[in-house]
Amino acid sequence: MHKITIDDIEKEPDKTLRYEFDDFMQEFGTDVHADLEFKSLGEFIEAAGKITGKLKLTCDRCLNEFDYDLDIDIDETFAKYALQDEYSQEFELKGEQFVTDLNGEKEIDVYDLLYQSVILALPNKKVCGINCNEGMFASDETNQVHDSRMDIFKTIKIERKE
């Protein structure tokens, strides 16, 4: 089930395992494709590659479904063994690169890596097009929900008029 072991990576001649993922992801209701490369660097495993696919998202303004193209670069580092205790499970390295601790686990869950990467890449506001619904969100009209993130959007609209 889309898991690779550290041994799989290290028995490759150049300690680099290519992995092609092409499967239906139930959480997103769609097929997702990914070309990945896992490289063993001693204590660390580096994962790099690209995720592509088409998601059906619901527009926050008009509530219609629209196609959203996935085009995500993967750049992840896994630590084979537990890092020092003062670090949390995921810590920041060199300012922007995150390291996931495998805590001595001998395998990497590729499905989970892709799932997390897609979730992180999705926009906060899902909008089918910039002119949709004259910039109004469905929740603006009903006024049933107050979303503090909406306040930012209102500010932007006012600034544009001036």
Minimum Å gap between C-beta 63 and Zn ion is 7
CA neighbor of 56 nearest in space, from 122, 140, 112: 122
Residue 138 binds Zn ion, judged by CB under 5 A: no
Chain centroid to Cα 92, Å, comes to 17
Nearest to 106 by CA among 14, 40, 22, 16: 40
Give 62 or 93: the residue with its C-beta nearer to Zn ion. Answer: 62
Asked if residue 70 binds Zn ion (CB under 5 A), the reply is no
CB 67, CB 60: distance < 8 Å: no
Nearer to Zn ion, 5 or 58 (CB): 58
Take residue 50 and report the two structure tokens written for it. Answer: 């690209």
59 versus 110: smaller Cβ distance to Zn ion: 59
Candidate list 25, 72, 83, 132; residue touching Zn ion; CB under 5 A: 132
> Under the criterion CB under 5 A, does residue 62 sit at the interface with Zn ion?
yes
